[in-house]
Amino acid sequence: MIIGKLGAAGRGCHGERSGMDAAILKTFDESLVRCQAQAGFLDRFYEIFLASSPMVRAKFSNTDFVHQKRALRMSLHAMALAAEDEVAGPAKYLESFAERHSGRSLNIGAEYYDLWLDSLLQTVRETDPECSAEVLQSWERVMMVGIGYLLSRY
């Protein structure tokens, strides 16, 4: 469950940049480049995510997926920027996403983020030709920083 995974990322102290290990971010960045080089990466993500639950399909019943895929592409980079500085980064890069996904707008609760993360990891497993346990862990670690922030602002 999402809640159990919150706070898994490491923290610095005494004024260090409080982000996760540079090695984890590098593993994530390189995998993201490989995934985005494969045609259909984001199509496959939405195919898996929409198939994960009728609840998810209902949320996207009026969605323009050309725009949505463009927005997701951008937000994966924003999630990495947020993880680079876990203290200041999430508010700096994810504030507007948090408001949009909160109970005041799209109303996306924790149960949806479980499905979102599982769908994303499944897509990476299928898409990244160099996928490994380490690669999947880097995606999970990076995404959990942003997900934790979005949920904290729900």
Q: Under the rule (CB under 6 A), what is the footprint of ligand HEM?
A: 56, 59-60, 62-63, 68, 71-72, 75, 79, 97, 100-101, 106, 108, 112-113, 116, 146-147, 150
Check: CB of residue 79 under 8 Å from CB of residue 131.
no
Tokens 């996306």: give the residue.
Answer: 108
Provide, rounded to whole angstroms, the least separation between the CB of residue 61 and ligand HEM.
8
Nearer residue to ligand HEM within complex by CB, 120 or 135 = 120
Provide, rounded to whole angstroms, the least separation between the CB of residue 93 and ligand HEM.
10
Nearer residue to ligand HEM within complex by CB, 83 or 135 = 83
Nearer residue to ligand HEM within complex by CB, 24 or 83 = 83
Nearer residue to ligand HEM within complex by CB, 56 or 135 = 56
DSSP result, 17-36: -----HHHHHHHHHHHHHHH
Provide, rounded to whole angstroms, the least separation between the CB of residue 138 and ligand HEM.
16
Provide, rounded to whole angstroms, the least separation between the CB of residue 13 and ligand HEM.
27
Distance between CA atoms of 11 and 98, rounded to whole angstroms?
Answer: 22
Distance between CA atoms of 14 and 97, rounded to whole angstroms?
Answer: 30
Distance between CA atoms of 117 and 5, rounded to whole angstroms?
Answer: 11
Provide, rounded to whole angstroms, the least separation between the CB of residue 16 and ligand HEM.
25
Nearer residue to ligand HEM within complex by CB, 8 or 130 = 8
Find the angle CA(8)-CA(1)-CA(122) to the nearest 5 degrees.
90
Instruction: Mention every residue, 6+ apart, whose C-beta is less than 8 A from residue 143.
Output: 79, 117, 120
